[in-house]
Amino acid sequence: MNAGIILANTYHLELRPGSEIIQKAGGIHSFMNYDGPILTDSGGYQVFSLTKLRDKITEEGVSFKDPLSGDKHFFSPEEVIKIQERIGADIIMSFDECPPFPCSKEYMAKSVDRTLRWAKRGKKVHTKKDQALFGIVQGGDYPDLRQYCASELVSMDFDGYSIGGTAIGEPRLTEYHEVEITIPFLPYNKPRYLMGIGSLDMLFDGIRKGVDMFDCVLPTRLARHGSLLTRKGRINILKSVYKDDFNPIEKCDCYTCKNYTKAYLHHLMKCEESLGGRLCSIHNVRFLIRIMEEARKAIKEDKFLSYAAKILQDFGSERGF
RNA sequence: GCGGCUAUGGUGAAGUGGUUAACACAAGCGGCUGUGAACCGCUCAUUCGUGGGUUCAAGUCCCAUUAGCCGCC
């Protein structure tokens, strides 16, 4: 599908199969037989998204209950780096705290300081020099905290910088704002990564502001639930109008569109056959990657803004999803 | 021919006289943003086989009738 990089997750891999197994296999590339670029997230987001499994967050780190075995796990910023070194991705992330939205300025300020201390602690123990380590900017919607967090991380000299704490339930305009107030404080000669973003409007908004990297579960999660991305907007393949539609999803170079009809995908999804979710995921991921390919080309030809505007217009939704 | 049992939505069914007929599945619609894949939300029987009756009030009680199932001759 020509993905520039793929993402794996420290928390999930540590619980199963365990980073030692991956290390023993010769690292994540060898383990999953993929020699392209791989990034691991630190698990900081899982501390936020899996609140039910979280025991407590302290200065030292976070303790978790393993939902599979009931075992307790303790993630410190140092341990998270060590796990990621064993996993062996090309780019790894600092362990950060991702506070929920909304969040009081008092808590956010304390949280940002802790995220900065964790970033420093993690960087100190990072010895695998063929791995790039990124710092993660938090600070919510507070301009001064975002600036502070970004500047402090930059002074620590990371290999790249991530914008975290976005798309966690805040309003649309707040999301744009969070990128707006962070980007100016990150060096343009190092990668700037907007974490967890995948809707068209935010991808384009991020690109325009200078973001270099994105990752998102949205295309695959939508696919598994029957929502397919097309140039003319989203369609729900579960709808009965597709039961005898023997055309591909759309004009597209993906494996799914080259080989299967909407009627067949409709049938697979109705039956909850896992192949359905996989074929739909292939289309949605390729859809977004193709958009990114076109965006890069448009940038080189200096017509990115008109390109983005046209894509959003064709998609027929301001949000772009 | 006689006796017994059962009839509630597309389906499986709750409901033993008292406001808008439970729940599940199916169906339909929407959601999902650094992944706990197979999740969440909403909609979906003015009506209980049919026809009478009792009662202030009937899916619930009575009578008749129809259909299905079981048993006996």
Q: Domain residue spans in chain A?
A: 6-216, 220-315
pLDDT bucket at A320, cuts 50 / 70 / 90: low
Q: Which nucleotides of B are covered by protein (CB under 7 A)?
A: 27-40
Residues 100-129 on chain A lying near strand B, CB distance under 7 A: none
Q: How many other C-beta atoms can be found within 10 angstroms of the C-beta atom of residue A294?
A: 14
Please indicate whether residue A316 or residue A95 has the higher confidence score (pLDDT). Answer: A95
How high is the pLDDT of residue A25?
A: 95
Annotation: CATH topology of A6-216:
TIM Barrel (3.20.20)
Sign of the dihedral defined by the CA atoms of residues A78, A82, A85, A90, in that order:
negative
Residue pair A228/A257 in contact by the 8 Å Cβ criterion: no
From residues 253-272 of A, which are strand B contacts by CB within 7 A? 270, 272
pLDDT digits over A93-148, tens only? 999 999 999 999 999 999 999 999 999 999 999 999 999 999 999 999 999 999 99
**Lookup: nucleotide whose C1' is closest to A202 CA:** B33
Q: So what's the ipTM on this one?
A: 0.85
DSSP string, A27-40: SHHHHTT--S-EEE
A57 with A97: CB under 8 angstroms? yes
Distance of CA A111 to the CA centre of its chain: 21
User: Among all residues of A, which ones are annotated catalytic?
Assistant: 41, 215
Q: How many residues does chain A have?
A: 321
Judge whether residue A174 contacts strand B, using its CB and a 7 Å cut-off: no
Residue A308 is encoded by which pair of tokens?
């983005």
Nucleotide nearest to A319 (CA to C1'): B33
Burial of A95 (0-12, 13-18, 19+ CB in 10 A): buried
Residue A55 confidence (pLDDT) = 73
Per residue in A106-115, pLDDT (tens digit) is 999 999 999 9
State the average pLDDT over residues A223-246. Answer: 95
The DSSP result for A199-254, as a single string, is: SHHHHHHHHHHT--EE--SHHHHHHHTTEEEETTEEEETTSGGGTT--S-SSS--S
Please determine, for residue A164, whether its predicted confidence score (pLDDT) is greater than 80: yes
Q: Which nucleotide is nearest to A68 (CA to C1')?
A: B36
Please tell me the predicted confidence (pLDDT) of residue A268. Answer: 95
**What value does the mean pLDDT of chain A take?**
94
Q: Is residue A317 pLDDT above 80, yes or no?
A: no
Statement: residue A66 has pLDDT above 90: no
